[in-house]
Structure 1
Amino acid sequence: MPLGSYALTGGRTWIDLAGGGLAFIPAVPRAVPWAGRGVSTLVRSGRRPTGPVVGSLVLAGALLLVFGALFATADAAFGRAVTGLFPHVGAWSLVTRIFVFGGSIVAVLTGAFLAMAPPRFRRPPAPSDVGRTPWAIPIVALDLLFLGFVAVQADVLLAGDRDRLLRSTGLTYAEYARRGFWQLLVVTGLVLLVVAVAVRYAPVRSRADRATVRTLLGLLCALTLVVVAVALRRLFLYEEAYGWTRLRLWVHAFELWLGLVVLLVAIAGIRLRAAWLPRAVAASGAVGLLALGLFNPDGFIAAHDVARFRHTGSADLAYLAGLSADAVPALDRLPEPQRSCVLHHLAESLDDGDSWTRFNLSRARARDLLGRRPVTRPPAC
């Protein structure tokens, strides 16, 4: 949603990127009345006979409803034919569909409103020059903290006896590896905020000022990339120990994208001017989402978890059973009875056939594979 919102509003600055990405929700209360005024104006317009046409359509619908109901109750064959034109929808399903339809209409109207009247965000006033020393003190302190953290990580990762080194923490190396990832993820995001604020107040009048800014912020970005690598390493060890899930894969991809953003910021810092950076960050996020969709996440998760099961005999079979048809080719490599346990419910859903809204290539391939190698009735799993 933020990427779509920014695509509708546009803009070249960080203020435009942040404001445009968050503009969708606040625009909803304005979009609905805006659309209502447009429809009202169109109905009252004398250029097109909109009013009579709308009234005629309403009358035609009422006539079809009344006479169709009478014919359907008068003749069983006609009633069966009419009933077949409409899907059987329960009360709760009907409420859900009405809610989804209404939400979709509001989303489309809001998108049209933002495209027709994109908001404009004011750039904050330029800050006063704080000077090199007051600006450098907090950045130097942060650089030193990052250097200390990186030094400890190097000591742990390169130590010959890691368990002995970590004995004072009360953790094994496996426990140490999977703890703290979320904190490191937050650290990466906060560094981008710190760099944005620091650049805003950076002294750039003299050559020495610019050299100081490039050195201190460049070092902070470089150390942040090391933190990104440490976070990814911890998450990878966690995934190797407990298997992959959608959440872990998405977080993995998000951390990689944050690392790319830090790298782009570091490149932009070479000249301390980067009008291209906000759009490059937004474009990299959009490309990353498309790439993640083409990556086939469920197939990747299933392939790695099946390989782990064949190697260790351990896997979360209940989680694998909830994956989509994209995972069937990998899940088919499980030994019996685990294969049937995991694929049983998915095979039943594929046997029901697909409506035009559910059909896709993955489901067709999965149905063909399970047709050649049917799932046996599993024992208690």
Structure 2
Amino acid sequence: MERKIGKSDWIFLLLCLLLGIVVEESFFRGEIGISYLVVILAFYTLFFWRYRGFTFSHQRFGYLVLICIWLLSVSFFLNNSTMLTALNFLVIPGMVVFHLVLITSQKSMPWNKPVFISYIFSRLIEAIKYNFIFAAILGKVFKSGVDERKYLVWKKVFIGLLISIPVLFVVLRLLMSADTQFELLIGGIPQWFEVVNAETVMRIIIVFFYTFAIFGLLQVLFKKQIKAIKQDLNVDSFKMDAIIAITVLVLINTVYLLFTVVQFKYFFSGTLQGDFTYAEYARKGFFELLFVTLINLSIIIFVLNFVDRIPVFVSKFVQIMLTVLVLVSGVMLCSAFLRLSMYEQAYGFTFIRIMSHSFMIFLVVIFMYTLVKIWIEKLSLFHFYFISSLLYYTAINIIDLEKIIVTQNIERYEQSGKIDIYHLNNMSYSGVMGLIDLYEKDQSLPGLRGILIERKQEALQDNLPWQSYNLKREQANERLKNLVLE
């Protein structure tokens, strides 16, 4: 870092301060809705202004990641899924950092190698160091023109205050516990400083935290790291003997083939032995099958990367064994899919069950590509796995999964007369609109009218700030306000 602060640095720091205020206003003033999109818009506006004229690398993949970031931020405005929203608080910032480091790195930097993870962390550490150096330079700027002795005195006083605060905190707690009168005296001290508001102080700290976090990272990334990072992990350094791998694959495939025969004989044929109902049989085996399928995928990835497949006939035999493993894994996925479908018909649809369905479809895509990779070795598994995972996660955020759950549960109610209205009520606003649809079809459903009366009262009293604006909530509240409850 240069030891001189230029005019552009001051302007950029001021803009980062404004962005820090936007972040605090958007994230810490109420439930997050459209405010997440506002923050992403403001952040990338500042980023592209600061990096105007900058030559970006990995542009095609960078645009894909950027589109996914935008779509995920839009999901806070469109949908209201509690589980995915909570997960996105970690995923989106991680993707933003990944995207920034990716497009500002050298073209030769491989993003699909483990070394890129260490590169990301090195840039984050550099950003922290930058802020410390910048603070030191800032101190020298303010120090200029000030008497050296006075400056040292105030510096020592400030250090003394920092050391004293935690000690005083503990000591005061102990003294207040020991003497009631002293506790009353100390307890009245906050009234002397009514001008100072603890919440205001915390908000100022939050603003400065985000200001310097953004400032340090973008300042560091502005200069591409010239020093190359050596890749310490050498995949070729470890190789398993092919005979060992073949032995394992033959034994595993034998068991799986036997399991497949059982599946076709009983489960897929529509007949079951024993005292199990279809729902009980489905519940008994679904998670076990899904877990075994993931183990199989891990075995395939390990063999493709770490098994020595020389000579040629050994390589071909390994490919055949891996192909069999993929095919029996496909049978397991089909069995698990059918089991879960029957369980849903018996007990209804939930977020976890629909997510499990979508994840199994995603695994089918993964296994299809892996099957191609077994026979075409030049293909990259990590490229496809990463990009497909990114697209899958973005898709389940944009698609309103809870609306699908509500629709399926209502269809099940029309066929069987069974529905859990309390489960729908515990969902987001898609569940509320499902309850309204049910009421419009059948007003005699026990307990439904009482739930909707409570929901309508909440809608009439709803006065959330602009940060919390959500399209799904607005649609549900509008329908509730117009709903006539007899």
TM-score after normalising by structure 2: 0.56
1:194 deviates by: 0.9
Q: Which has the higher contact order (CA 8 A, sep 6+)?
A: 2
Q: State whether structure 2 residue 385 is matched by structure 1 residue 281.
A: yes
Tell whether the 8 Å contact from 2:130 to 2:220 is kept in structure 1 after alignment.
no
Corresponding residue of 2:362: 257
Q: Residue 276 of structure 2: SS of its match in structure 1? A: coil
Equivalent residue for 2:418, pick from 307, 314, 319: 314
1:301 lines up with 2:405 in the alignment: yes
Query: Retained in 2: the 8 A contact 1:8–1:111?
Result: no
Number of the residue aligned with 1:354: 464
Q: Is the 8 A contact 2:424 2:434 kept in 1?
A: no
Contact persistence 1:127–1:201 (CA under 8 A): no
CA distance in 2, matches of 1:36, 1:44: 12
Tell me which amino acid in the other structure corresponds to 2:392.
Answer: G
Q: Which residue of 2 aligns with 1:330?
A: 434
Unaligned runs of 5+ in 1: 53-90, 377-381
How far apart are the structure 1 equivalents of 2:101 and 2:219?
A: 10
Aligned to 1:61: none
For the structure 1 residues 97 and 251, does the alpha-carbon distance in structure 2 shift closer, same or farther, using more than 3 Å as the test?
farther
Secondary structure of 1:210's counterpart equals helix
* 1:219 has 2:317 as partner: no
Q: How far has the Cα of 1:152 moved from its partner?
A: 0.9
What is the identity, as a one-letter code, of the residue corresponding to 2:430? D
Structure 2 spans left out of the alignment, 5+ residues? 1-89, 103-108, 146-197
**1:302 to partner: Cα distance:** 1.4
Contact 1:333 1:339 in 2 (8 A): no
**CA deviation vs aligned residue, 1:26-82 (integer Å, no higher than 9, x gap):** 889957843642541552475xx8999xxxxxxxxxxxxxxxxxxxxxxxxxxxxxx
Q: Separation in 2 of the partners of 1:253 and 1:302?
A: 16
Question: Given the superposition, is the C-alpha separation of residues 180 and 35 from structure 1 closer, same or farther in structure 2, using an over 3 Å criterion?
Answer: farther
Q: How far does the alpha carbon of each residue in 1:246-266 deviate from its partner, in whole angstroms, 9 at most, with x for none?
A: 122222222322222222211
CA RMSD of aligned residues (A): 4.1
Q: Partner residue of 1:340? A: 449
Displacement of 1:344 in angstroms is 3.7
Which residue of 2 is the match for residue 57 of structure 1? Answer: none
Identity of aligned residues (%): 19
Amino acid at match of 1:355: P
Q: What displacement does 1:320 show?
A: 0.9
Any conservation in 2 of the 1:9–1:119 contact (CA below 8 Å)?
A: no
Assess if the C-alpha contact under 8 Å between 1:321 and 1:345 holds in 2. no
**Could you say which residue in structure 1 is the equivalent of 2:183?**
none
In structure 2, do the counterparts of structure 1 residues 354 and 140 end up closer, same or farther at CA, with 3 Å as the change threshold? same
State the match for 1:40 in structure 2: 135
- State the Cα distance separating 1:142 from its structure 2 match: 1.1
CA shift at 1:269, angstroms? Answer: 1.3
What displacement does 1:153 show? 0.9
Identify which of 299, 306, 310 aligns with 1:205.
Answer: 310
> Quick one: structure 1 residues 42 and 315, their matched pair in 2 at CA, closer, same or farther if it must change by over 3 Å?
farther
> CA distance change for structure 1 residues 362 and 176 in 2, over 3 Å: closer, same or farther?
same
- My pick for the range that moved more, 189-198 or 97-106, is 97-106
1:138 CA drift (Å): 0.7
Deviates more, 1:192-201 or 1:148-157: 192-201
Moved more, 120-129 or 221-230: 120-129
Q: How many residues align?
A: 327
Shift in Å, 1:159:
3.9
Helix, strand or coil at the partner of 1:179: helix
Deviation at 1:188, TM superposition (A): 1.8
